[in-house]
């Protein structure tokens, strides 16, 4: 079966069902994904949609051809969070956004994510946003008030809420909407807002100001992908209000188009079974994990082992298992030329609503069968076992048997003398070096963790 025979099915949030994906134009398959607001390091949850839609991008390239797929992912580089970071740090806004944008690209590159074809920055598209807002006012879908421009939800009331499945009345009852005297309807949302002299601002028909968040993606996707494109993706936390508002303003500005035909949303991420939060002490940036010694390839494999529409739980146990798996696969494929294409079973799993967990299960089968060439081609299609991500696995394995024997013998003596101080010292030193210490009556096992540093064993 060739890749042209692959039938891709995707769960479309808009219709709430799995549908056969047929691109508008097979020679120009277009996808837009909401990117980060660049004011700090990307946390682990920010990385999930990057990896999810990177896999979809790879699948589309495999099926339709690398030159036939256009992927756009934006950077929000004008935002109140960025303004606040500049105010508290005293640094120019441009310096902050340039630095954090590069951080994002570097960190996502460490996870094996390909760079999209287009990575538009909001500040590069202000004239297009102003033009779209003017058009919405002219068509009766927006109004100016006190230096602001707001989208009039009542002008789109029959269709507003279709994506998230809520009525406008339900939204008003359940949402924390910004109450403002200049709003005609509590649900009306900002397209343009005034800027004081100390904030970024651009000249407009409504005075000096800056765009609201939602108008960015509508203007940039239209400029790069047209009034109708194939896929719009992002985390399910963006479904309302961000994506709902995008649909409203885009369809009202360009009624001749359908905006995005397929909507895909990934579920959120947890850490050790709990929601990630700073208050729980389980908040990690991608860079935190990389600096702790977790290889980017290991992080990627942990992500891929959970279907994108299910909550993903990051655990240290999963990371250790993923590292062991990747070491085995890299040993099996060392010096091997990859097969000419990914295995059909792997592609079929991915084509079934991006079932990455099923695709990983097929990689295990290829490894068990000793099909090194098929394993290598299939893993690389998923962004694994690539040469770029392999440096971590090339480090020589450390023989820990002498350290295990030393602790075991020390413990035996301590059982007789009842003085366990040396046992405690050795255990603490091993843990400090990044080893997990497993002790039993029959022996000692030392298991390297993701942050294992052999140099710290030298003093022992």
Half-sphere exposure (CA, 13 Å, Cβ side) for 382? 33
Q: How far apart are CA 311 and CA 299, in angstroms?
A: 16
How much is the pLDDT for 174?
Answer: 60
How much is the pLDDT for 1?
Answer: 45
Helices within 111-190 (DSSP H only): 126-138, 168-174
Task: Per residue of the chain (460 residues), give pLDDT as tens.
Answer: 456 689 999 999 999 999 999 999 999 999 999 999 999 999 999 999 999 999 999 999 999 999 999 999 999 999 999 999 999 999 999 999 999 999 999 999 999 999 999 999 999 999 999 999 999 999 999 999 999 999 999 999 888 999 999 887 777 766 666 778 999 998 999 999 999 999 999 999 999 999 999 999 999 999 999 999 999 999 999 999 999 999 999 999 999 999 999 999 999 999 999 998 888 888 899 999 999 889 999 999 999 999 999 999 999 999 999 999 999 999 999 999 999 999 999 999 999 999 999 999 999 999 999 999 999 999 999 999 999 999 888 766 678 889 999 999 999 999 999 999 999 999 999 998 888 898 988 899 887 776 677 878 876 6
Cβ contacts of 203 within 8 Å, gap of 6 or more: none
Q: What is the reported pTM?
A: 0.87
Orientation of helix 356-368 relative to helix 296-304, angle to 10° = 110
Q: How far apart are CA 431 and CA 455, in angstroms?
A: 13
Cβ contacts of 52 within 8 Å, gap of 6 or more: 233, 266, 303, 308, 354, 356
Spell out the domains of the chain, with CATH numbers in brackets.
Answer: 10-269 (3.40.50.620), 293-394 (no CATH), 401-457 (no CATH)
């Amino acid at each position: 079966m060739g890749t042209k025979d692959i039938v891709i099915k995707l769960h479309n949030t808009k219709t709430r069902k799995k549908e056969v994906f047929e691109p508008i134009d097979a020679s120009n398959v277009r996808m837009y994904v909401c990117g980060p607001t660049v004011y700090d390091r990307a946390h682990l949850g920010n990385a999930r949609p990057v990896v999810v839609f990177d896999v979809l991008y790879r699948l589309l390239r495999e099926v339709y051809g690398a030159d036939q797929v256009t992927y756009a992912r934006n950077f929000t580089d004008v935002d109140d969070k960025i303004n606040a970071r500049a105010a508290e740090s005293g640094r120019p806004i441009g310096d902050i956004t340039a630095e954090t944008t590069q951080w994002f690209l570097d960190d996502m590159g460490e996870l094996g994510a390909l760079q999209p074809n287009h990575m538009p920055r909001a500040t590069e598209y202000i004239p297009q946003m102003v033009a779209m807002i003017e058009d919405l006012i002219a068509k009766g879908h927006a109004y100016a008030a006190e230096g602001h421009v707001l989208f009039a939800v009542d002008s789109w009331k029959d269709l507003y809420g279709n994506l998230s499945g809520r009525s406008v009345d339900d939204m008003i009852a359940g949402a924390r909407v910004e109450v403002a005297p200049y709003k005609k309807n509590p649900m009306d949302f900002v397209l343009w807002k005034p800027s004081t002299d100390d904030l970024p601002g651009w000249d407009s028909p409504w005075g000096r100001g800056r765009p609201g968040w939602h108008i960015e993606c509508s203007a940039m996707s239209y400029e790069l992908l047209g009034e109708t494109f194939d896929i719009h993706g992002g985390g399910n936390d963006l479904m309302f209000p961000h994506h709902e508002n995008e649909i409203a303003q885009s369809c009202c500005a360009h009624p001749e188009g359908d905006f995005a035909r397929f909507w895909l949303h990934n579920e959120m991420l947890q850490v050790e079974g709990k929601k990630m939060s700073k208050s729980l002490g389980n908040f990690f940036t991608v860079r935190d994990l990389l600096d702790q010694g977790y290889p980017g390839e290991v992080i990627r494999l942990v992500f891929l082992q959970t279907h994108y529409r299910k909550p993903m739980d990051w655990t240290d146990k999963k990371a250790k298992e993923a590292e062991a798996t990747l070491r085995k696969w890299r040993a099996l494929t060392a010096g091997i030329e990859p097969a000419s294409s990914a295995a059909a079973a792997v592609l079929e799993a991915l084509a079934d609503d991006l079932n990455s967990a099923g695709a990983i299960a097929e990689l295990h089968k290829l490894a068990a069968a000793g099909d090194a060439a098929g394993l290598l081609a299939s893993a690389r299609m998923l962004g694994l076992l690539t040469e770029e991500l392999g440096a971590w696995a090339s480090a020589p394995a450390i023989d820990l048997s002498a350290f295990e024997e030393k602790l075991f013998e020390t413990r035996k003596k301590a059982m007789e003398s009842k003085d366990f101080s040396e046992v405690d010292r050795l255990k603490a030193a091993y843990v400090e070096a990044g080893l997990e210490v497993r002790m039993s009556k029959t022996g000692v096992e030392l298991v390297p963790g993701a942050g294992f540093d052999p140099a710290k064993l030298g003093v022992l």
